[in-house]
Amino acid sequence: MQAKIISVTNPRQKPRTAFVYADELSQYQLSAEHPLRPIRLHHMHELMKAAGILDAANVDTLVPRTATRTEIESSHDPGYVSIVEAISKGAIAPGMGEFGLGTPDNPVRPGMYEQTALCVGATLIASELVTSGKADVAFAPTGGVHHHAMPAHASGFGIFNDAVIAMNAMVDAGLRVAYIDIDCHHGDGVQLGHYDSDQVLTISIHESGQWLFPGTGFVQEIGTGDGTGYSVNVPLAPYTQDDDWHALFDEVIPPLVRAFKPDVLFTQLGIDTHFQDPLTHLSLTTQGFNLVVQKLGALGAEIGKWVAVGGGGYDLSAVARSWTMALATMAKFELDDQVPLSFTSLEGLTTFDDQPPAPTEAQYLSEIQQHNKSSFDEVRKLIFPKFGI
């Protein structure tokens, strides 16, 4: 499929916003028990349509293309790519376990190569529109969920790491990229993809690997060689709520991004930080999440180029509302507080904002804040001097 050219006319001076999506990427199942339900994207899309965002004059919807084998192999071992392709076509692969395939997290299925290559293509289209100047911001919500995928190994629901592939192309074009991952899980595959590079600043703010998959993302993981100091991790205590999450974000991320002076901002917007997410333990609300998007949007406006992808998110309501709110924020679209009555894809949605969870008891709040302060103090000690902060 070919992407159309996005309009550059902008009568209201609102950001030229691209939304890259194909509903076919919501129409498959990893397994009957798998927590990642691609149908979440369909619910999101229906809510965006009902809210009227996709009809806004400064929003263009584009279909993705399928990433080429060469593009995929810019991040992945050819042998691994071949076995994914063979399994996708029905081949029997006794050694697939060596590649992380055939596990409960990464079950094999017909069409997995084609579906993942289309997902990669969505992220590439978003990146190309932004880097070419045809869009100010582009959102590809099907991307980002593969941020655990390794060069020769599937991991954590991820097969081909679309973020690394897209950023490889940017770096090859001479661009410096600031990557910010707000998924509840550490973005280990993306970190590895640029661990020795000073052209990509990777920042992951996440629930500590002490308690959550993939068990990595500690402050001491700061990069190697030329990349020393360019991998930044902010591990948080479980049950961190909006205010304390944002306190760490504000202390770490804007100063580092501004000191790095990137050409492009690339953000992974996982919403498994939500307090109702069934797999994780952070406690953000949809409005807390959207405040993050607003802050990222301010950074993106300073830089002039902003690419956003999706990520984790296993509560269907949180995904639909949060990513709809995110697109509205990107496009500066006035979103009503109430979910439109015409939206019937999911039952029970009435407002975009949440009723916040109960406040954390003082005893536990003190422990949470102490853990988070320790993370910040280590980042300030190990990373900030590299950037003259």
Q: Rounded to an integer, what distance in angstroms lies between the CA atom of residue 183 and that of residue 206?
A: 6
153 among known catalytic residues? no
Q: Rounded to an integer, what distance in angstroms lies between the CA atom of residue 38 and that of residue 139?
A: 17
Find, among 248, 236, 239, the residue nearest to 371 by Cα: 236
Q: Rounded to an integer, what distance in angstroms lies between the CA atom of residue 39 and that of residue 181?
A: 23
Find, among 260, 275, 277, 267, the residue nearest to 386 by Cα: 260
Cα angle vertex 109, ends 310, 138, to 5°?
20
Active-site residue (options: 42, 43, 148, 194): 148
- For 61-109, the DSSP string reads EE---PPPHHHHTTTS-HHHHHHHHHHHTT---TTGGGGT-SSSSS---
Residue type, 162: D
The DSSP symbol for 225 reads G
Q: Rounded to an integer, what distance in angstroms lies between the CA atom of residue 161 and that of residue 337?
A: 35
Cβ atoms within 10 Å, residue 347: 6
Structure tokens at 295: 């802050």
Q: Rounded to an integer, what distance in angstroms lies between the CA atom of residue 118 and that of residue 44?
A: 18
Find, among 307, 288, 295, the residue nearest to 352 by Cα: 288
Please identify every residue annotated as catalytic: 148
